Amino acid sequence: MDKQRHPSTTNDNGKCMQELIERILGHRGHFVCAQISAPASQHKKLPFTHICTPPTGDASDLPEVGGLRRFYSAIGSLTLYHVAASDEAGAYIASPAQWASLQHDFLGGFEGMSAQDWSAEDQAWIEACCVIGTEPHTGNYFLMRMEGDDAGWVYSFTHAGLEFDEEAPSLPAFVEKLLTVNNSLARRLAYHMRFSEDGGRTQWTLHSIHDNTGACGRLEA
């Protein structure tokens, strides 16, 4: 399995959690979507919001890595880029109470794999991670390293290619990254988001994203 490390474009010296929450709750916009199997001129705007739930437990019990205590002292769970019309979402950061279930689902995807696909080194690396979120309905997950030189770093796991991509040095920094609307985010969301109407008979794919700060991201750029 591939583990891709990239130069970080984020840091963990950013906004306090209250400022991050205000940014989350104040951030909204819309997707411009193209209808599948329809003329290219057939477009639709679908508004998105973010859903932030209050804390549900004592964050002081969490490992002191990657901003986990700081994040979960203020937030219970976080759904990003939620489209109410089709109940789709771009990313989900789970509450600590859901981690075990996500971990079980994640590890279940490796059952039956041979040593050629999943080495002892891969297994040890994965066992030092905690699954903290997911891209809904994809089999893709967000993991945080709990030990080692990269403890606290968030990685994304892509099921299709069995790849781990380094995302950000902490959970708050990762959320900041996901809130930054640009072409990279548009491509990321378009990879897995589909919007349905009429019981699934009409489907739309993401073409571009626009938010209330004036930022936009496009697939063709």
- What is the Rg, in whole angstroms, of the alpha carbon atoms belonging to the chain? 18
Q: Reduced to 3 states, what is the DSSP secondary structure of residue 202?
A: strand
What residue segments make up the domains of the chain, in order of their start? 2-218
The model's pLDDT over 3-20, given as tens digits with 9 standing for 90+, comes to 554 444 344 443 589 999
The model's pLDDT over 157-209, given as tens digits with 9 standing for 90+, comes to 998 777 899 999 999 999 999 999 999 999 999 999 998 776 667 788 999 99
Please check whether residue 133 is in contact with residue 142, taking contact to mean a CB–CB distance below 8 angstroms.
yes
Please check whether residue 131 is in contact with residue 102, taking contact to mean a CB–CB distance below 8 angstroms.
yes
The model's pLDDT over 76-98, given as tens digits with 9 standing for 90+, comes to 999 999 999 889 999 999 999 99
Q: How many helices (H) and strands (E) does the chain have?
A: 6, 12
Residue 121 — pLDDT band, cuts 50, 70, 90? Answer: confident
Of 107, 106, 108, 111, nearest in space to 94 by CA: 106
Facing residues of 2 across strands? 163
Question: Residue 115 corresponds to which tokens in the numbers above?
Answer: 């040593």
Q: How many residues does the chain have?
A: 221
Facing residues of 43 across strands? 34
Please check whether residue 28 is in contact with residue 212, taking contact to mean a CB–CB distance below 8 angstroms.
yes
- How far from each other are the two terminal CA atoms of the chain, in whole angstroms? 30
DSSP string, 100-142: HHHHHHHHHTTTT--TTTS-HHHHHHHHTEEEEEEETTTTEEE
